[in-house]
Amino acid sequence: MTAQYKLPPEWAAQSGVMLTWPRSDVEWNPDYASAERCHTAIAKEISLREPVVITCMDAGHAERIRGYVKAAGGRVDRLHIFTFPSNDAWARDHGPITVEKDGELVLLDFIFNGWGEKYPHVEDNRLSRRLYEAGAFGALPMESIELVLEGGSIEVDGEGTLLTTESCLLNRNRNPKLKRAEIEALLHKYLGVDRILWLKHGAIDGDDTDGHIDTLARLCDAKTIAYQACEDAGDPHYKGLKAMQDELKALRRKDGQPYKLVSLPWPQAVIDHTGRRLPATYANFLIVDGAVLVPTYNDAADGPALKALEGCFPGREIVGVPCRSLIHQYGSLHCVTMQFPRGVVPQKV
């Protein structure tokens, strides 16, 4: 009998969230203090609600992180800190993806290749297995899957629907030997979905993931999609995001009804010292138990973005987290986190 897999949606009850703390000796170095402040704020907000699995550089670094989180008002007793090598901080893409297999939880360790061999990734690709062997996920089994797949590239509703982008999952820099039908078959198998909604349009400048769905459009529940909009006709993103909006309007739920669409405001352009535009997007939020953590950018659109998401998540606190330092490394809040459903992270007594 064939095993049945199912990926729970992000809004399912959780047991913890993973963070890979940025290293001080790589690209984060020019303003490492700001990056640590941002990660501290994220760890603090998560720790107030559930455990945080953190990978960092060494024992001394671990003690500093505990001090940062304590000083910020977080729950140090909920920090599960491990010291392993890493290349970068994007836990969403190198962390394990937790599914139910025949009703039992199992961790899937997909291949991470640095978003198509763009960046060093060997240590990040090993990290899930190292955490597993160190007991970070209790006694749960882990399966290694021969497919390049990043957590930021997929959105599921828990009812059989997957939302994703062609520009990423079908990119030849990920799985060049697999045809579209073969990739779809593997997604059906390991994520437990029976239909895939592909977006052809939409991309955020500065996003070097080839168009992760978590920068563009997010399932808030099985009937609602919040998406990054652009109403400025003079902005280079206008045409592409309008085309994506039209695609979203054409999508249908399983019952044949259109999705409830919630547009998120467009922040002002943020340009780095090289003249490159950075990927400031409000779609890169994280759902945790009792709350939604939303990236903010010291922008006039921050408040309206938080307000727009209030209606998507009744009963959850909407918490803004300053993430301007993250976009300087071409990602944001959701990109540096990976949630685990209830039953994965051992709970400290």
Identify each DSSP E strand in the chain by its residue range.
Answer: 5-6, 14-20, 52-56, 79-83, 97-101, 104-111, 142-148, 155-156, 161-165, 195-199, 217-221, 224-228, 260-264, 286-288, 291-296, 317-322, 337-341
Q: Please confirm, yes or no, whether 335 is among the known catalytic residues.
A: yes
Rounded to an integer, what distance in angstroms lies between the CA atom of residue 292 and that of residue 45? 10
Rounded to an integer, what distance in angstroms lies between the CA atom of residue 244 and that of residue 230? 10
DSSP character for 256? S
Residues 81 and 99: beta-carbon distance below 8 Å: no
Q: Which of 38, 56, 168, 335 is catalytic?
A: 335
For residue 16, give the nearest of 349, 280, 345 by alpha carbon: 345
Residues 248 and 217: beta-carbon distance below 8 Å: yes
Residue for token pair 């290749």: 113
Show the tokens assigned to 186: 């593997």
Rounded to an integer, what distance in angstroms lies between the CA atom of residue 264 and that of residue 309? 8
For residue 152, give the nearest of 227, 97, 218, 214 by alpha carbon: 214
Rounded to an integer, what distance in angstroms lies between the CA atom of residue 22 and that of residue 86? 8
For residue 115, give the nearest of 197, 47, 215 by alpha carbon: 215
Rounded to an integer, what distance in angstroms lies between the CA atom of residue 262 and that of residue 65? 36
Q: How many residues does the chain have?
A: 349
Rounded to an integer, what distance in angstroms lies between the CA atom of residue 335 and that of residue 326? 9
Q: Is 58 exposed, middle or buried (0-12, 13-18, 19+ CB in 10 A)?
A: exposed
Show the tokens assigned to 308: 């727009």
Residues assigned a catalytic role: 335
